[in-house]
Structure 1
């Protein structure tokens, strides 16, 4: 069937805005749970496929690399294809990649599917907020829509933990397969509710083709170098070569495709601080969850469902507090909340340094999870506010993409390094009940160091003289 040409109304607003919001919010929830479902399932997948941890971790970091490595270019793809076409293609690709990942047994196919899912998630994330802003007029209606969208995003990690625990108890393959039918359902709904719009060619196709692969390849090589260095040795040609080449590619990107990013960060100090702070918060959090998942399952012999329930205190409070976060930021000030929100997780990571294979949940794990959770409650919304503070409206989409790129890539790189350190310190491909008492310490020190970077940057962002900001 040939679609009728889009009218001005089709282009500017959705005919059924709340139907559109339901689709976009469901998509946001699906994207948000992708890391949580894999972290809990990782020990089971590694054991079933006989994968060492340094390979299995790519299932987590691969998605984040595909997501974070594509966000800066998502807007250009959307401009070339139009929002509707880009969104529908991304949802179809996400569903297909989910099916491939769920059926594959070769690690290369699994990781490739995760990278593709991350890329597709980046495209839907790029278009989601823009479509909400277009569909809902400024004021109460748009605020309510954004609250629903944010709430489901904040709930995604908790939902992912529970789903992973339940599905992995049946088969780990369901943790990778279940997004496929959900994405197909959202795709069918999106065909009805996502408004048509014309492409907006910018003449940047060649520019995109040159810069996107350079950036993504540089990030992947850095991750490979970080996961290989602790195991092979930092002077090993493969590890050192990957780090050097990855760094060189990112420097090249600065001149090929990143010329607009660096000036934006220099001109808006709060954006740079928020990107570093959010990256440190997310990276240290993912690294901690990897350590605790392996501790609870591979070392302590817990079940995936038991692990999921044990980790919920780190994520549920954020979901519960999301509706009131904006009000708290306005009352206390974003910079103060970011600083306090960085201090509490750092305290938790320092407490976690005493973790050893004999550590129990209530005394050694839960206190750290609660401190990290409080940090997210305080700083999650405040970091988003800081990221766009003082940025002109025309540049906010680019600022948000830069911010989210830092969040995803820091998470991926921290997980890679933590996995390598766990393997090197434990003397085995995967932590086991025979892990020595000092096996966690190098990884936990790195996690604490990443958290400390976020805290120091947050302190630098505090306004002078105690003013609110």
Structure 2
């Protein structure tokens, strides 16, 4: 038995605190700079294209490298990978906080994504082997899922506070405090584990999936120039082709980067797809919500951050109920109903107007979105890793995280394309509040449709008895 499972109960719960802190860091960093973008853009002279890439670079590097990060965690050791990722993430955050040009900031965000790709799968794999089964596992994943679900909104609030009272640069520098806590907590409470046996790196798999995902996301980011643009089509086609080659490679190598059995399972595959849609909403749609709060309603950075609070509060309030329902009725009903509630909230947001009252048009919509996301995030993490062998724990957790980040990258690019089509290529300074609001409304309509699609995915793919979807048996653990 792993030493992590022999650890005293209080040590395991402290390990959960450290692991959840890590998840908070990597999720909130997807959005913490979003609310500071107007001031960062003015400070560094960012173009509109660079402004989008401050968000996209992080999610793209994160999502594209997560599979490799998962395998590194399995082979090198999850605790060791966790500590390396923490140090690198802190260094990248420091570089970004001191950036003097737009491209330095974009590069720093990309480097943050690279080290987050080591941190995130290592943390989730550590959680999986520390809480292998039973009620403690459900509680641990509920805490972890709540942090994952609210981290993006917490990032908006913290970013608003730091931008208002200090400087936008502290949206990056604040990570140094999180990193220090993570390094100390990791050294004290985390136990090393790694995959057993002959472990070889799948070099060609790593190259094809990284370039494939990168090309795909970059292609979507170019869609704001038009879906028929030759460069857009070329990168989307290249991305799909490279991902096809990746699948072909994975079926033929002895130590695949992504064992196809991890994603071939219908239920697990459905969970990954739903996670991708959720990422598109929490990373992409919330960015344009902050733009509406600041550019149309005239809120300051802190006020705009506070205005997003109904979303994480609703998610945290609903989490205990979702956790209880998960053990009673299983994950499928939650994943069918949750996205529909979130879709209703997004549809209400689509009706915003330039002079509409916040407590009438926005706050109720955010409550609905938060409740819906609470029902979505609580079962997702458990479902994505259900029945996964210890040898694949790192890579399975990487796919779960990658789905959210790549979904966020693609979602942001698609929403940007919808925005560009709505405003007809005009610069933001040339637009009236009515034109801006109309553009944001179309984004929320598309987001609402995506959440309905997530519900349909749950109906079609998350099927089977509750006992099969939520196994109670122990996961085999290999630890050194």
TM-score with structure 1 setting the length: 0.85
The alpha-carbon distance between structure 1 residues 189 and 459, as it changes in their structure 2 partners (threshold 3 A), is: closer
Q: What is the alpha-carbon root mean square deviation over aligned residues?
A: 3.3
Among 212, 226, 236, the residue aligned to 2:220: 226
Matched, 1:312 2:289: no
Instruction: Point out the more displaced range, 153-162 or 102-111.
Output: 153-162
The alpha-carbon distance between structure 1 residues 118 and 13, as it changes in their structure 2 partners (threshold 3 A), is: farther
**Matching of residues 303-342 of structure 1 within 5 Å:** 303-342=300-339
Q: Is the 8 A contact 1:39 1:290 kept in 2?
A: yes
Q: Is the 8 A contact 1:158 1:312 kept in 2?
A: yes
Instruction: Point out the more displaced range, 329-338 or 443-452.
Output: 443-452
* CA displacement, residues 364-417 of structure 1 (integer Å, 9 cap, x when unaligned): 322321221111122222233433455566655544432332122111110122
* CA displacement, residues 4-35 of structure 1 (integer Å, 9 cap, x when unaligned): xxxx9878866854554443332222223212
Among 85, 90, 102, the residue aligned to 2:97: 102
Among 100, 103, 111, the residue aligned to 2:106: 111
The alpha-carbon distance between structure 1 residues 258 and 154, as it changes in their structure 2 partners (threshold 3 A), is: farther
| Distance in 1 (alpha carbons) for counterparts of 2:229 and 2:147 | 44
Among 82, 86, 92, the residue aligned to 1:91: 86
* CA displacement, residues 30-60 of structure 1 (integer Å, 9 cap, x when unaligned): 2232123122222332333332443212222
The alpha-carbon distance between structure 1 residues 76 and 37, as it changes in their structure 2 partners (threshold 3 A), is: same
**Matching of residues 119-268 of structure 1 within 5 Å:** 119-135=114-130, 146=141, 148-169=143-164, 170-195=166-191, 202-205=198-201, 207=202, 209-230=203-224, 232-257=225-250, 261=258, 263-264=260-261, 267-268=264-265
Among 422, 436, 455, the residue aligned to 1:425: 422
| Distance in 1 (alpha carbons) for counterparts of 2:440 and 2:135 | 49
**Matching of residues 344-363 of structure 1 within 5 Å:** 344-363=341-360
How many pairs does the alignment contain? Answer: 459
| Distance in 2 (alpha carbons) for counterparts of 1:88 and 1:200 | 20
| Aligned residue number for residue 3 of structure 1 | none
The alpha-carbon distance between structure 1 residues 185 and 419, as it changes in their structure 2 partners (threshold 3 A), is: same
List runs of 5+ in structure 1 lacking aligned partners.
1-7
Q: Is the 8 A contact 1:13 1:195 kept in 2?
A: no
| Aligned residue number for residue 476 of structure 2 | none
Residue 251 (structure 1) shift: 1.9
Q: Is the 8 A contact 2:61 2:110 kept in 1?
A: yes
| Aligned residue number for residue 5 of structure 1 | none
| Aligned residue number for residue 452 of structure 1 | 452
TM-score with structure 2 setting the length: 0.84
The alpha-carbon distance between structure 1 residues 300 and 146, as it changes in their structure 2 partners (threshold 3 A), is: closer
| Distance in 1 (alpha carbons) for counterparts of 2:321 and 2:167 | 38
SS of corresponding position for 2:31:
helix
Instruction: Point out the more displaced range, 258-267 or 29-38.
Output: 258-267
List runs of 5+ in structure 2 lacking aligned partners.
470-480
Residue 70 (structure 1) shift: 2.3
| Distance in 2 (alpha carbons) for counterparts of 1:37 and 1:151 | 17
Residue 168 (structure 1) shift: 0.8
**Matching of residues 260-299 of structure 1 within 5 Å:** 261=258, 263-264=260-261, 267-299=264-296
Residue 316 (structure 1) shift: 1.6
| Distance in 1 (alpha carbons) for counterparts of 2:465 and 2:5 | 45
| Distance in 2 (alpha carbons) for counterparts of 1:358 and 1:329 | 41
The alpha-carbon distance between structure 1 residues 85 and 281, as it changes in their structure 2 partners (threshold 3 A), is: closer
The alpha-carbon distance between structure 1 residues 345 and 158, as it changes in their structure 2 partners (threshold 3 A), is: closer
* CA displacement, residues 316-364 of structure 1 (integer Å, 9 cap, x when unaligned): 2222333443221122321111110111122223333333434432333
| Aligned residue number for residue 403 of structure 1 | 400
